[in-house]
Chains A and B, each alone.
Chain A
Amino acid sequence: MTTKTKARANPERAPLFVGVDVGSSRTKVAVLDARKNLIGYDIRKSGTDFTATADAGLEASLTMAGGDPQDIAYAVSTGYGRKNVAYSKETKTEIGCHAKGCYHYFPEAITIIDIGGQDNKIIKLDEAGRRLGFKMNRKCAAGTGAFLEEMSARLDIPLEEMDGLARNSREMVKLGSFCTVFSATEVLENIRGGKRIEDIVKGLFFSVIKRVLEMDSLSEKVVMTGGVVAHNPFLVEMTAFQIGRSVLVPRHPQLTGAVGAALYALDLGQEV
């Protein structure tokens, strides 16, 4: 599927460089051309068959890019299911890929906050894009997308409505607990106490932000990425308010890891 020796199906677009980020919740595929333009992408649920999902994601991305499998010069995979991508020639960690993807959009010294479905990362880069260090959350789901998913289920609110609800809060409910289970109890207490659902949801957003900010210190420029950021822009605004400065967000925050993987593919493909 991935070879440079076959004839190019679409010489105008080829060669193509593919990055696949198989996350715990969603699988993201990014297709770049040789000039690093994002010309195709796809985001879908990872499900239980990572290989099939990555295949389907690639097919959709190639259709969007107007390319064919033969046009792929190199593919790199990342994320929890990185070893399950049949057409990947190399794997990289999601930390490396988010770093590379973010630096592509913001080429300066930055701190990246990635809020994923199952884990959070804080990655610090110097002005040359080299990693100075990184932190991942502990095994606990507090502060991750899984926390918001759990709470949306408990509150019987569709996940996509949470951002709008939080934005309409008048008086945020403060949730003190570290733990998802304890937080759920606190939420129930607040419902019983007659608190508005908008104020509770904003409290949940604030809880996510607190968990992330206690992971590490932040440098001056902060970039936020990940699915939670992509679907909840109000959470970014709240973070900016909390840290007292603006927060940068790439155009497709959920795709940053996949774009980083595609950039690795471009580097490695050109070495071949």
Chain B
Amino acid sequence: MAQEKEVVIRRLKTAKVMNQFMADYYYELDEASKSDNKKVAWCTSVGPAEILRGMGFYTYFPETHSAMLGATRMAVDLIPKANAVGYSPDICSYLTADIGAFLEGITPLSRAFPGIERVPKPDVLVYNTNQCRDVQDWFAWYAQRYDVPLVGVETYRNVPEVTPAHITSIARQMENIVEPLEKVAGRKLDMDTLKEAVALSRECSDLWEKCLAAAAAVPSPLTFFDGTTLMGPAVVGRGTQKAIDAYKLLLEELEERVAQGIGAIGEERYRLYWEGMPVWGRLSMHSKLFAGLNANVIASTYCSSWIFTALDPAEPFESMARAYTELFIVRSDDYKEKYIQDKLEFFKCDGIIYHDAKTCPNNTNCRYGMPQRLEKKTGIPSLVINGDLNDLRLLSDEQTKTNVEAFIEQLEERK
């Protein structure tokens, strides 16, 4: 029988630092939730977290919680609970998994962080639809359940170029949520604290960008699969010094690997780009699948989505408006194609994997001809795999495996 090859994946030491960061973060939130005088805001992953920090809110990000539901594969049993109360299996499986967990009264936080029994109760919910409309529906459900205010920012879509009109509109929307938030916080927005949070977010973003850029080295010290968990502090901790300290350590370790020529996998023969969401419940399986074929998925749009180069403490509202509108997910296909093309060149990629996530159209970019157009432009082959971020009922592991193996065979023929 054909022998199975031993798969070598070199874990980063700093992953433990990131895990500790997340543990501290959730314990702090849990404590705030239980106290009488601390306020908790729920915020979408690319929502205006800096404003919330400027009012002293403890900020919880449900999307990260949903990713945990996916990674622990709890989502599969929870999604049907939300389907049964009217939330279709065709809509965002972050939303359905999270609402399902709430209905069942369970959370992966209890398993990961003993002592935490439930997600922190919100005093207010704050969204930015830059991710999708689903976040608004998701938060609206909780606003009704908890009987707390819901405020937010409605984004633009398919933006070719971010213009002053976009910035003005989004900045005004952000300013408009300040007053209702102040009412909940019981205090005024402290502009100095806001500016400091913006400055810290920017520094965190710059460090995260450098960490991801380290993957341009050959061999790459990092994989996309590592990145999906290492990015935790950039999502939940931006605007804090602690996140910056964590990324300084990560960058140091990555630079050390680069200097010593140490790659993240045993043998890096093929370098791939991942476009779309991870399949959270299959992170480990996919990581081993690619590494076993001597392929390293080194870069992605997803992990780069928490890089906010436009943030500027001198102009907090305008720069937040720019940073949260310049995002890949908000932009036109022309912009996205150029973006990916630049990444392919920078990271010296041999191929692209597009994840067609059934319930996440906004993070799926292979449905309007992009793979064909990009392949024509760059000559770099691509593969589309069908799956989902959280709903494992929507994927076939055997088909994914066959597709990926066949794709690597195809790349081999070109070497």
Residues of A bordering B, CB below 8 Å: 77, 80, 82-96, 119, 130-136, 138-139
Judging by beta carbons under 8 Å apart, are B409 and A136 in contact?
no
List, in ascending order, chain B residues with CB within 8 A of A82's CB: 2
Judging by beta carbons under 8 Å apart, are A95 and B2 in contact?
no
Q: Mark B402-415, 1 if CB is under 8 A from A, else 0.
A: 11011001100110
For A85, A87, A89, A138, the residue with the greatest tally of chain B CB atoms inside 10 Å of its CB is A138
Q: A90-B2, A139-B395, A139-B399 are in contact. Are A131 and B409 (CB under 8 A)?
A: yes
Instruction: State the CA gap A20–B402 with chains docked (Å).
Output: 16
Judging by beta carbons under 8 Å apart, are A93 and B2 in contact?
no
Judging by beta carbons under 8 Å apart, are B395 and A95 in contact?
no
Judging by beta carbons under 8 Å apart, are A85 and B1 in contact?
yes
Instruction: State the CA gap A169–B405 with chains docked (Å).
Output: 42
Closest to B411 in A: A131
Which residue of B2, B381, B382, B395 is within 8 Å of A89 (Cβ)? Answer: B2
Which residue of B1, B384, B398, B409 is within 8 Å of A96 (Cβ)? Answer: B409
- 22 pairs across A/B with beta carbons < 8 Å? A80-B398, A80-B402, A83-B1, A84-B1, A86-B1, A87-B1, A88-B2, A91-B2, A92-B409, A94-B406, A95-B406, A96-B406, A96-B409, A119-B399, A131-B409, A132-B381, A133-B375, A133-B381, A134-B406, A134-B410, A136-B403, A139-B396
Which residue of B381, B382, B409 is within 8 Å of A93 (Cβ)? Answer: B409
Closest to B1 in A: A86
A180 nearest CB across to chain B (Å): 16
Main secondary structure of the interface of B (DSSP, over half): helix
User: B304 on the interface (CB 8 Å rule)?
Assistant: no
List, in ascending order, chain B residues with CB within 8 A of A88's CB: 1-2
List, in ascending order, chain B residues with CB within 8 A of A84's CB: 1
User: B169 on the interface (CB 8 Å rule)?
Assistant: no
Closest to B3 in A: A89
List, in ascending order, chain B residues with CB within 8 A of A95's CB: 402, 406, 409
User: B193 on the interface (CB 8 Å rule)?
Assistant: no
For B381, B395, B405, the residue with the greatest tally of chain A CB atoms inside 10 Å of its CB is B405
User: B386 on the interface (CB 8 Å rule)?
Assistant: yes
B residues 1-34 touching A (CB-CB < 8 Å) = 1-2
B residues 355-414 touching A (CB-CB < 8 Å) = 375, 381-382, 384, 386, 394-396, 398-399, 402-403, 405-406, 409-410, 413-414
Judging by beta carbons under 8 Å apart, are B2 and A136 in contact?
no
Judging by beta carbons under 8 Å apart, are A93 and B402 in contact?
yes
Closest to A119 in B: B399
Judging by beta carbons under 8 Å apart, are A139 and B386 in contact?
yes
A135 nearest CB across to chain B (Å): 8
List, in ascending order, chain B residues with CB within 8 A of A80's CB: 398, 402
Instruction: State the CA gap A82–B396 with chains docked (Å).
Output: 17
List, in ascending order, chain A residues with CB within 8 A of B382's CB: 133
Instruction: State the CA gap A98–B413 with chains docked (Å).
Output: 15
Judging by beta carbons under 8 Å apart, are B409 and A94 in contact?
no
Instruction: State the CA gap A119–B410 with chains docked (Å).
Output: 19
Instruction: State the CA gap A133–B410 with chains docked (Å).
Output: 8
Closest to B401 in A: A93
For B375, B394, B398, B402, the residue with the greatest tally of chain A CB atoms inside 10 Å of its CB is B402
A111 nearest CB across to chain B (Å): 15
Judging by beta carbons under 8 Å apart, are B386 and A93 in contact?
no
Q: A96-B406, A130-B414 are in contact. Are A136 and B399 (CB under 8 A)?
A: yes
A198 nearest CB across to chain B (Å): 34
Q: A80-B398, A138-B386 are in contact. Are A131 and B403 (CB under 8 A)?
A: no
Closest to A88 in B: B2
Judging by beta carbons under 8 Å apart, are B402 and A83 in contact?
no
Closest to A96 in B: B409
Closest to B394 in A: A139
List, in ascending order, chain B residues with CB within 8 A of A86's CB: 1
A123 nearest CB across to chain B (Å): 9
Q: A119-B399, A139-B396 are in contact. Are A131 and B410 (CB under 8 A)?
A: yes
List, in ascending order, chain B residues with CB within 8 A of A96's CB: 406, 409
List, in ascending order, chain A residues with CB within 8 A of B384's CB: 135
A-B interface, 9 closest residue pairs, ranked by CB to CB distance from nearest: A95-B406, A93-B406, A131-B410, A96-B409, A139-B396, A130-B413, A93-B405, A91-B2, A138-B386
Closest to A79 in B: B402
Instruction: State the CA gap A139–B403 with chains docked (Å).
Output: 12
Q: A133-B381, A139-B395, A139-B396 are in contact. Are A83 and B2 (CB under 8 A)?
A: yes
For B375, B386, B406, B414, the residue with the greatest tally of chain A CB atoms inside 10 Å of its CB is B406
Instruction: State the CA gap A82–B406 with chains docked (Å).
Output: 13
List, in ascending order, chain B residues with CB within 8 A of A89's CB: 2
Closest to A121 in B: B406
Instruction: State the CA gap A84–B398 with chains docked (Å).
Output: 14
For A82, A86, A134, A139, the residue with the greatest tally of chain B CB atoms inside 10 Å of its CB is A139
Instruction: State the CA gap A93–B410 with chains docked (Å).
Output: 11
Instruction: State the CA gap A114–B24 with chains docked (Å).
Output: 54
List, in ascending order, chain B residues with CB within 8 A of A87's CB: 1
Instruction: State the CA gap A93–B405 with chains docked (Å).
Output: 7
Instruction: State the CA gap A86–B405 with chains docked (Å).
Output: 20
Instruction: State the CA gap A131–B402 with chains docked (Å).
Output: 15
List, in ascending order, chain B residues with CB within 8 A of A135's CB: 384
Instruction: State the CA gap A132–B396 with chains docked (Å).
Output: 24
Q: A130-B414, A139-B396 are in contact. Are A77 and B2 (CB under 8 A)?
A: yes
For A93, A95, A119, A134, the residue with the greatest tally of chain B CB atoms inside 10 Å of its CB is A93
A71 nearest CB across to chain B (Å): 19
B364 nearest CB across to chain A (Å): 13
List, in ascending order, chain A residues with CB within 8 A of B396's CB: 139
B372 nearest CB across to chain A (Å): 9
A6 nearest CB across to chain B (Å): 19
Q: Mark B130-150, 1 if CB is under 8 A from A, else 0.
A: 000000000000000000000
Instruction: State the CA gap A138–B396 with chains docked (Å).
Output: 9
Instruction: State the CA gap A97–B381 with chains docked (Å).
Output: 19
Instruction: State the CA gap A135–B1 with chains docked (Å).
Output: 28
Q: Mark B224-268, 1 if CB is under 8 A from A, else 0.
A: 000000000000000000000000000000000000000000000
